[in-house]
Structure 1
Amino acid sequence: MTTTERLASSLVWVVAAVAVLFLMTPLVVTVAVSFGSSSVFTLPPPSWSLRWYERLWASRDLWPAVATSLQIAALSTAVALVLGTLCAIALVRGRVPGREGIITFLISPLMLPGLVIGIAMLQGFRMAGLRDVWVSLLVAHVVITLPYVVRTVIAALSLFDFTLIDAARTLGLTYPAAVLRILVPSLAPAFLTSGLFAFLASMDNYPISIFFTDAWTKTLPIQMLQYVEERPDPTVAAISALLILLAVVALVIGDRLVGLRRLADY
């Protein structure tokens, strides 16, 4: 390795370290503040305490929002996995005119600002006569989680050898049985990857959810905004720390079941 290559490699590592430090600092500060005893955001805190987590446990407004977010995230992820997989199989295996345009359309929610999507869906739901808050939230979250599934499953299907299904059929399996026993296990890492990202994206979504909530049905990010407006104390930091823990748990589960390297391949 020449001197120039060594300098370039060192520069890459320095830039990567600075980027990681820049991204991780807000997370570390949030977690540290959530364990402080001060009633304001102070770092370093005067002493360490679990008072804000105890307040979360006793909160009556938080848990309905958590339940709503978990229900919406779980159902929207399940629906997106089914619809996204069917769309991906049709686009990869079928002779669909305008295939690239359809793929771009399906993943377009990842490219557009959330506020634009929220306003568009709000107007569309009103024109369609859909006024139920919970159903509106579910449909909106399916729209924002579907791109994760479509993009990931299409990438996985492009690496799958479909002659294995034909071989299984020649050995006596029906087509649905061959799909369940051959295709589904091969796509399991893609399902897990897209499901984890879709679930976390639904749990953390704010700019679209804000258009479809009311005083009785709120998601966790909306409730957190209300906490910031009414009681600007480290309670929000404690909620954020638990959300960070949720993301870490999701990564650990993915690493145990599939492996982070294989997850990154999708």
Structure 2
Amino acid sequence: MRPGWVLRAFAGAGYALLLAPALLVAVISFSAGDFLTFPPPGLSLRWYAALVANAELMAALRNSALLALAVAAVALLTGIPAAYAVARLRFPGRDAIAGLLAAPLLLPTLVLGLALLLALQPLRLAATWPGLLLAHSMIALPFAVRIMTTALAAVPRDLEEAAWTLGATPLRAALRVTLPIAAPGAVAAGALCFLVSFDETVISLFLVGPRLSTLPVEMFRYAENRTDPLVAALAMTLIGVALGVVLLVERLVGFTRALGRE
């Protein structure tokens, strides 16, 4: 049954409401003026050129990209075994472990950031790569576990059992049969973990230092002191990175297949 025109109109209005701020920022990012005004007095690429020439922001961009890649790898390496245990095994306390893995999503990021600062500062891990990696991995892990739990649960258990009857151990069957089928879910989980880390601001504010910062933090600091369209150009860079990752996942595996629904 095809949706009626009323439903399509409401859907279109919803999309317009969601996309309007991004479109507004996109127009301002090409402004030729010196201040954040709409409509802009003219169009220019001057603020994108200024962004590329800003050494601090470019260093923060590099830090965010490297950190997000490392977080995605750590989240997958720890999240896939945890998701397999939750989705495929039966043991006492399984539901409690699943709830514990999702706990970081239930706490405000402000509380998490302060708690991580208090925990990492005595260990001298604040404002360090290991400290940021640990903090970002903690908030990315629940996303990896959730997506991989769905992807692994969609793999028929009969395939593993057939491998057992052919002489494969449970570990070999999981590695050779289950995980390859669920690989699209791993791609989606890694992409989402990358974006979670790349866009994280609140927790990073507690843990960065003068020699190690991330792009969202530098964007926040820049917007505190200046009102020029460079902020809009920086915002569009973040949006472009997120959109590029999403399109890459869709191109490689497709979201429906990645979530184990096909």
Question: What TM-score, normalized to structure 2?
Answer: 0.90
Residues 167-246 of structure 1 mapped to structure 2, 5 A cutoff? 167-171=162-166, 176-246=171-241
- Partner residue of 1:103? 98
Q: Which of 10, 13, 23 is equivalent to 2:18? A: 23
- Displacement of 1:139 in angstroms is 0.2
Alpha-carbon distance in structure 2 between the residues aligned to 1:111 and 1:175: 34
Letter matched to residue 130 of structure 2: V
Deviations 1:179-224 (A, max 9, x none): 3332222111211111111111110000111110011100000110
- Displacement of 1:88 in angstroms is 1.1
- Partner residue of 1:163? 158
- Displacement of 1:107 in angstroms is 1.5
- Partner residue of 2:82? 87
Range 213-222 or range 184-193, more displaced: 184-193
- Partner residue of 2:140? 145
User: Any stretches of 5+ residues in structure 2 without a counterpart?
Assistant: none
- Is 1:35 equivalent to 2:30 in the alignment? yes
RMSD in angstroms over aligned alpha carbons? 2.3
Alpha-carbon distance in structure 2 between the residues aligned to 1:218 and 1:132: 8
Alpha-carbon distance in structure 1 between the residues aligned to 2:87 and 2:250: 28
Letter matched to residue 109 of structure 1: P
- Displacement of 1:247 in angstroms is 1.6
What is the percent sequence identity of the aligned residues?
A: 38
Range 49-58 or range 111-120, more displaced: 111-120
Aligned residues, how many? 261
Alpha-carbon distance in structure 2 between the residues aligned to 1:241 and 1:26: 11
- Displacement of 1:129 in angstroms is 5.5
- Displacement of 1:246 in angstroms is 1.3
- Displacement of 1:127 in angstroms is 5.2
Residues 104-119 of structure 1 mapped to structure 2, 5 A cutoff? 104-119=99-114
- Displacement of 1:135 in angstroms is 1.3
Deviations 1:160-195 (A, max 9, x none): 123323423544656555433322221112111111
SS at match of 1:72: helix
CA contact (8 A) 2:188 2:249 kept: yes
CA contact (8 A) 2:185 2:257 kept: no
- Displacement of 1:51 in angstroms is 0.2
- Is 1:123 equivalent to 2:118 in the alignment? yes
Alpha-carbon distance in structure 2 between the residues aligned to 1:176 and 1:263: 23
Deviations 1:63-98 (A, max 9, x none): 211111111111111000010001111223333322
- Displacement of 1:17 in angstroms is 2.2
Alpha-carbon distance in structure 1 between the residues aligned to 2:34 and 2:127: 38
- Partner residue of 1:262? 257
- Displacement of 1:10 in angstroms is 4.4
Alpha-carbon distance in structure 2 between the residues aligned to 1:260 and 1:38: 40
Alpha-carbon distance in structure 2 between the residues aligned to 1:102 and 1:178: 24
